[in-house]
Structure 1
Amino acid sequence: MTMKDHEQSFSRSRTKKSKKRSREDDIHEPMGPVKQSPGTKHENLQVKIQLYQEQTNKIPPLLAYFPSGYNPCKTHQEEEEGANTPKVRVFRHTAQRKGNRLQVVVSPGGSNVDFVGSSYSGEAAAAQVCRYSLGVLDKEAGTLKIIPIATNKIFRMEPRVRTSETANEDASVSAKSELTTYKKDRLDKLGELTALYGTKKDRKKRKDFIDLKKEADPASQKELEKKIGEVAFDKEALANTTAIIARNIPPHDVSAITPPEAYPLDKIILKGDWDFLGDIHNLLQVGEEVASNAYPHFVCNRIRKLEATQDDTQKWKLSCVFSYITHLVKFRDQFSMGQASAKNHNIPSIIRHRFFNMFTDPGSKILASDKIDLLIGYVLVLTLHADGFRTDPTDIAKDLRISKVDLRRHFLNLGCILGHQNSVLYATLPVPLTFPSENFRKKRRQ
């Protein structure tokens, strides 16, 4: 390169630097001189610039333009001549993570066309190279306020005919309904597979979910209320039920004239339970002995009485009563500490489920005191049935692990009378039933 070329290059670089310095001087000048065209007047202002940051709890100003040529300001000026003012609406996404999604809708008066612009679609969704702000000049205060526009987007207002927009909304609703139907069919198929091949826990969850849906269904609720309204209530039975709940004893009939009717056996052992109580009867049929470690003392001490019974129907019925007593005693022992023998005892599932409903509270792993009293009441009533309503409670007290004083209280609460014969305490059930008064029960507790 020659010396001349160096001089030309140096002059060009100086020219660029001088131009750059002149531009910087113009920028630093508050309101630099502007070339005035003939016929125009400009004034120089000394202003204070104020920058505002975007606030999350407030929507910044919206900046929009109409490429179609529609001028809402012109329409607004024609309002005085009788034209309708355009309606402006702004929609914001409710989700917090999508809070910057905005949609502006301008609806001119007397027209079926809306101008719609959004910050998440169309031109505004493209990558933005520049940041946009809105400047507000106050000549009197001498301030220039720079405010960022909403989500740093300029809204392009596209015209949309309302009929087509409605059609789009209907299509969207139709698509949603089809999707809902698809999900429903898929859930129904999953439910069928769960019912056929699912685990016991999953099947129970599905059943509970179906029951909850039925409870929440208004039609089911109306039908249930209608059926309840048609039921004819038996006042006497309702009074007896109230007495059962109040006294915490098994089902009974205070107007009974015979002891078996006072505590009906079919109300204590329900019809569906008898078929699952044949274990003792089956042992006697094959000639096997009843193991003393598998059955309560009360049952083992009365096996001879069972073997001596000649009537097969009475023999089978009495053996079922013994089996039910066994399940009740073992069920209570399974909730007690240190009763290892009861853990291996097998209670039929239908009877075990009934015991859980009667003697346990939902979600509890222990038996409450009032539930234990009710369970003991069931056991004592069955012992009365087994011994002809006059029983020696010595062995059942060992099985229930309660003192003679507590046992006496339970028998009295059932309406029994206690008496000694040959130094042996017997509990007898008279009829009609007579229960101790509340004052007597309170004195006994004290």
Structure 2
Amino acid sequence: MGKRKVSNKDLPEAIDLQHVEAPSTSGRTGPLAVYFPSGFQPGKHGNCTWEVHSNTARQNDHLVVARTGDVDFVGSCRSVDAAGPPICKYAVGVLDKASGVMRYAEMGTGNIVRMEPRARGVNYGPTGARTEQEDDRQARILQNKKLVHAFGSQRRKRQMEQKESAKVGDDNVAAQAAVEDLLAAAGDKAAVAKMTKDDVLKAVSNIRHIPLHHPEATTAAAAYRLEELVPEEALEALEVARLRRAVEDDSYRDDVLRAKGIFPDVVLDRLPLITKPDGPAAARRLRAMAFLGPLVSLYTGRHRLNVDSRTGGLKQLSGRMRIQEDVLRGCLGRFYNRAKGEEEGSELYSRTKEQARMLLLHLLVVALIADDYSLGARQFEALRAALKLTPQDLVAHFKELGCTCDKAALPGGDKSPLKQYKVTLLPPGTAQPPRTLADMFPKLQLARARAKK
């Protein structure tokens, strides 16, 4: 708006000031003055109707609304511009040139109200984080996931996956609920059978959430059986023939299998340990190595796998992960949850924290079978590096399976900054009667009872 020059002839020679005490339309003394930082000028850019809403519990607390077309201009006496005591006083005056009288009144709020444009139909209020409905919150979380999946960096996607896998929800507390139900049932039976505390603890500790095993077994081969660990549809699809050829042909092993990434190094490096590829023991070890490769690829891969029928479905995922299709299908059915994907024709396979743990325990048992139930220090270190675990964590998982873990040094005088171990499952001994797998499980740790004062 351009400036207008005022000539002296427009003003009377004498001006008489009169203070007005009339109440405003809001019920408070003094009028309200507003300004439009957007440049809107009432009357020039459109007509508007005015509304004033006042807080009857507080003095000079008003909300001014100017409605014009599809846009409302809203101003509050409690905005940032009006925060704190005013540094000057404002007044509104009207000059009657004929009589030379100016009637003026001090502004009721002490500040000029800033009018901000607001489009109708849009909520500009608080987000409602505390009163938000659960469905709305889940929808917002889902939209955020879609944005991260479409435009987020690999690091952001990985962080989101780790955050999701660390959540404690209905899907990953099943083991805890099962243990609580088990303890309750054991307590009821104990009351009827008049069992002692030691009898109850012994009965409960015999049930463990580990891969299928035989607690009464006295030999490693009988404790964990490979045919019970491999899914039925995957047992005959394991690529044993390739590994058997790689045992006899080093160039095929390194120039083909290793170069093309068909098997991980942790599998191919174990092949030289098989000196005689014939016989039932070698056949069992080769079959275990053939299954160890897919397990390592799945465990070190993503927690969520998308299968889209429009781009090849499970066959496309099988080729990308270099896992035989029947083997992949069996592993997905055992270690993953299946859900309908966001897009039509897609499926999402995801694993919970407990399923990831069970996948790891299956992997460790299969690695033991592949090394004839005894891992040397070098094999232990190779497996630890492939899984990106600390030696302490790996030892804890092996002990959970009933293994014996002893400190050992790398052969050939090689040095490592990390501790190395030799892991053995049910080593032969002279104890009579022979120790069973149940004897090798970690004992249940109980807190000591406090002494009575």
TM-score interval for Structure 1 and Structure 2 normalised by the shorter chain: 0.3 to 0.5
Larger RCO, structures 1/2 (Cα 8 Å, 6+ apart): 2
Larger Rg: 1
For normalisation by structure 2, the TM-score amounts to 0.39
Which structure has greater helix proportion? 1
